[in-house]
Amino acid sequence: MKVSHVLTQTLSLLALGATVEGFSRSRNEACGPHKPFRPLPTSSSRDRTCHVRSHGNGTDDSDYILSALHQCNHGGKVVFDADKEYIIGTALNMTFLKNIDLEVLGKILFTNDTDYWQANAFPQGFQNATTFFQLGGEDVNMYGNGILDGNGQVWYDLYAEDDLILRPVLMGIIGLKGGTIGPLKLRYSPQYYHFVANSSDVLFDGIDISGYSKSDNEAKNTDGWDTYRSTNIVIQNSVINNGDDCVSFKPNSTEILVQNLHCNGSHGISVGSLGQYKGEVDIVENVYVYNISMFNASDMARIKVWPGTPSALSADLQGGGGSGSVKNITYDTAFIDNVDYAIEVTQCYGQDNITLCNEFPSNLTISNVLFKNFRGTTSGDYDPYVGTIVCSSPDTCSNIYTSNINVTSPIGTNDFVCDNVDKSLLVSVNCTAT
């Protein structure tokens, strides 16, 4: 994992968030420059406002929050006031919401009671992910540029002692059909910042993510977004300072548009990991990634697939043998600086034994993938190589293209490791033998 510092740039991107007053502007107008795969629904009007009360003494405000949500559900707006800090010490199931706005102007802080959250956070059924809350329903908008703080430091330290603990995700977007999230500031998530599951037609716009460990124990697995069993999702105009994937497309993510992101310290924009669970079929298709700035990272564009037999990456991350497909994926326009690999395609994720991967090729195919218009300089960690495109068998990959890849290492090379792929389609990269 790359160790990096928070960049001081705030970027004007965060000023591009969707109109917050009732979201009178359609979500499709808010998307740009590329439009979503399918039109996003508009919000109905909001006709009343509820302000959330706070104890103001550090005790749990969850009852006040639920009361305001019920009072202003079906056509209202719930306001978290700018001069207040709200404490959440109870797992909140908010999947009943419909036609409602949540305007977060103040700060929402989750308690550091790790025993309670391990026992009561919502299990999501994927890689042991749990969430502090479940935000779902229909036509739900959450914005205001306020702060959600996951109190992550206690979790970073605890995870260093026991990597099997269940660390909650800060933002659980579960079963949301139509909505806009952002602008918001997200800080110190124990694990992923967003887990977007079983959701559709959702726009994330103007999200500011940051939260590094203050001890020697790293903040691990702090992905910016993980999408799972979700479709027609847009993620745009955001700044992400984290220590894992900037965005990751998990199983059965389709029609995903990601654009205008500034990522620092991450593992890149990743398809996968996929094929982790034997007997399950993972599909990721129709993904467009545009205009990404990637700094101090392990990768820019990454496709990671487990081999065709069970293997282990760590005690809490192991698997392999699943099937499925990755297809119709485009990475268009990226600037990189101090990134280990501009492009990494592997079907040997979770396994250092290349012989085993070749003996048990992936059951998951990769096809119709385009990487184009990349520029910048790698970190030099893999000199002379600036990328790797390696499939476990010629039968598992097809139609992988590169174009206009102007990326060099610090020593001036642009070599790629290429294996079991059609090298004639890899334009402007120099495939060399390892």
CATH number for the domain spanning 360: value is 2.160.20.10
Handedness of CA 372, 400, 244, 20 (dihedral sign): positive
Tell me what the mean pLDDT of segment 138-146 comes to: 98
Report if residue 52 sits inside a domain: yes
For 8-12, 26-30, 195-199, which range has the lowest pLDDT when averaged over its residues?
Answer: 8-12
Interatomic CA distance for residues 208 and 241, integer angstroms = 8
Cβ 97 vs Cβ 137: under 8 Å: yes
Taking phi first (over 0 means left), then psi (-120 to 50 degrees means alpha), and beta for anything else, what does residue 383 get? beta
Name 226's Cβ contacts closer than 8 Å, sequence gap at least 6.
129, 192, 194, 195, 196, 245, 248, 250
Note whether 255 and 34 are within 8 A (CB). Answer: no
Distance CA 79, CA 65 (A): 10
Q: What is the mean pLDDT of residues 154-165?
A: 96
3-state percent breakdown (helix, strand, coil) of the chain, nearest 5: 10, 50, 40
Question: Does pLDDT of 351 surpass 60?
Answer: yes
Inside any domain, residue 111: yes
- Nearest partner of 160 among 214, 91, 124, 224, judged by Cα: 214
Joined together, the tokens standing for residue 174 give 């579960």
Sort 373 into a burial class: Cβ within 10 Å, 0-12 / 13-18 / 19+: middle
Q: How far apart are CA 379 and CA 365, in angstroms?
A: 30
Quick check: is 419 in a domain? yes
CB distance 244 to 221 below 8 Å: yes
Phi-psi region of 284 (alpha: psi -120 to 50; beta: other; left: phi over 0): beta
Q: Tens digits of per-residue pLDDT, 244-299?
A: 999 999 999 999 999 999 999 999 999 999 999 999 999 999 999 999 999 999 99
Residues 6+ apart with CB under 8 A from 128: 166, 316
- Do 332 and 373 contact (CB within 8 A), yes or no? yes
318 assigned to some structural domain: yes
pLDDT of residue 109: 98
Average pLDDT, the chain: 92
Lowest-confidence segment of 14-23, 69-78, 328-337 by average pLDDT: 14-23
Closest CA to 124 of 78, 167, 179, 162: 167
pLDDT at 312 over 80: no
Q: Which tokens go with 398?
A: 């097809």
Q: How far is CA 339 from CA 343, 376, 410, in A?
A: 10, 9, 11
> Which residue in 326, 325, 203, 338 sits closest to 268, CA to CA?
338
In this prediction the pTM is: 0.94
Euclidean distance between the first and the last CA atom of the chain, given in angstroms as a whole number: 23
Closest to 207 in 3D by CA, of 178, 233, 231, 187 = 187
Q: Do the domain assignments include residue 5?
A: no
What the block records as the tokens of 207 is 């999200």
Amino acid at 421: V
The whole-number average pLDDT for the span 78-99 is 98
Question: In whole angstroms, what is the distance from residue 177 CA to residue 130 CA?
Answer: 20
Q: Which residue has the tokens 């103040």?
A: 106
Amino acid sitting at position 370: L
What residues form DSSP beta bridges with 335? 293, 375
Structural domain that includes position 254: 12-432
Report the catalytic residues: 267
CA atoms of 415 and 42, how far apart (whole Å)? 47
Judge whether 6 lies within some domain.
no
Secondary structure class of 201 (helix, strand, coil): strand
Q: For residues 175-210, b (16+ Cβ closer than 10 Å) or e, as one string?
A: bbbbbbbbbbbbbbbbbbbbbbbbbbbbbbbbbbbb
Instruction: For 68-98, give the DSSP string.
Output: HHHHHTTTEEEEE-TT-EEEE-S-EEEEEEE
In percent, how much of the chain has pLDDT > 90? 84
Q: Give the total number of structural domains in the chain.
A: 1
Q: How far is CA 266 from the centre of its chain?
A: 10
User: 288-305: per-residue pLDDT in tens?
Assistant: 999 999 999 999 999 999
Query: Quick count: other Cβ atoms within 10 Å of Cβ 258?
Result: 26
Q: Is the separation of the CB atoms in 306 and 321 below 8 Å? A: yes
Sign of the alpha-carbon dihedral angle for 111, 148, 248, 91: positive
- The band of 354, judged by pLDDT with boundaries at 50, 70 and 90, is confident
Q: What is the pLDDT of residues 386-416, one digit of tens each?
A: 999 999 889 999 999 999 999 999 999 999 9
Would 283 be classed as within a structural domain? Answer: yes
